[in-house]
Amino acid sequence: MDSITQVLTVLILLLAMVVSVIVTQFIRRRRDLFALREIPAYTALPMRVGEAIEANRPVHISLGSAGLGGSSTLLALATAELFYQAAGRAVIGGIPPILTVSDPTAIPLGQDTLRRAYAARGRLDRYRRGSIRWYPGGSRSLAFAAALTSTLADDNVATNLLAGSFGPELALVAEAAARRDQSVIATSDNLEGQAVAYVMSDPPLIGEEVFTAGAYLGGSPSQVASLVTLDVLRVALLIVIFIPTAIAIGDAILAGRFSAAIARIFGGG
């Protein structure tokens, strides 16, 4: 890594830290100061969970083949936060939520997440480890998808939150849910799975939106500040990319006179 790259990296990290701290303090004082862009899936999720509670039917959440210790570790942790936010709403009902996984390393993660959801509602005595179900199959497994379709029928699921690592087999689960008039909110880190989720879920989560569950559903100042910081850095990156591109286009059109004019404006000759 050359010295310029090192300096830029340090500046970006400092900017991220400063913006995050400042935004966090503003949000703690005034929560309405920053309006997050609307994500339809997070708008619909509390209503879907509420409908499941009223119908006395469970909410089903699946991480697919996402697990800990591999390339999907960050995805598993982000999905666990989404599971926590959904489960925190669902545990007030009479039927516990169901979490299905294919990677064995996701079992303790799911158990701890569900336990925290019950504890946050003061209902830890109702926590049952059996709500976390492991179905063998592995990555992109039709066997796992078949097990999920059976779960939808056997447990009379009300709504499905399929957020994790899925391939095209996600279509089987979504189609089975549609036949039983069950709602589906889905996303995947796999391009084929995301394509299926976009078409068959109502509404879908797209790309990095799965990492923002804490900010949208939890609303803690630090999580909202992190999200605002990412948006600020994204805008700054677009500006950094746009300026040299605009100069190059201007020079191509004006035979180099555009950059010379800018240099004269800023005292460069």
Q: Collect all residues with Cβ–Cβ distance below 8 Å to 79 and sequence separation of at least 6.
A: 63, 66, 163, 164, 210
Q: In the prediction, which pLDDT does 269 show?
A: 52
Q: Collect all residues with Cβ–Cβ distance below 8 Å to 96 and sequence separation of at least 6.
A: 58, 90, 114, 126, 128, 131
The 10s digit of each residue's pLDDT in 69-120 is: 878 888 888 888 888 988 888 888 888 899 999 888 899 999 999 999 999 8
Q: In the prediction, which pLDDT does 176 show?
A: 92
> Domains in the chain and their CATH numbers?
40-215 (3.40.50), 220-269 (no CATH)
Q: In the prediction, which pLDDT does 189 show?
A: 86
Q: In the prediction, which pLDDT does 177 show?
A: 92
Residue 132 pLDDT more than 80?
Answer: yes
Pairing of strands 183-188, 98-101: unpaired
Q: Which of 28, 10, 64 is nearest to 222 (CA)?
A: 28
Provide the pLDDT confidence category of residue 131 given band limits of 50, 70 and 90.
confident
Q: Which of 195, 144, 216 is nearest to 173 (CA)?
A: 144
- 29 vs 152 pLDDT, higher one: 152
CA dist., res. 136 & res. 144, Å (int):
6
Q: In the prediction, which pLDDT does 57 show?
A: 92
**Is the CA virtual torsion 140, 86, 58, 130 positive or negative?**
positive
Beta pairing partners, 160 = 60, 184
Sequential DSSP letters for 71-135: TTHHHHHHHHHHHHHHHHHHTTSSS--EEEESSTTHHHHHHHHHHHHHHHTT-GGG--GGGEEE-
Q: Would you say the pTM of this structure is higher than 0.85?
A: no
Q: In the prediction, which pLDDT does 19 show?
A: 66
The 10s digit of each residue's pLDDT in 10-48 is: 776 776 677 666 666 665 666 556 667 788 888 899 899
Q: What are phi and psi of 99, to 5 degrees?
A: -120, 125
Residue 160 pLDDT more than 90?
Answer: yes
Q: In the prediction, which pLDDT does 71 show?
A: 80
The 10s digit of each residue's pLDDT in 188-240 is: 888 888 999 998 888 888 877 888 888 788 776 767 777 777 777 777 777 77
CA dist., res. 105 & res. 116, Å (int):
18
Residue whose tokens read 């100069």: 247
Residue 172 pLDDT more than 80?
Answer: yes
Q: In the prediction, which pLDDT does 59 show?
A: 92
Q: In the prediction, which pLDDT does 31 show?
A: 56
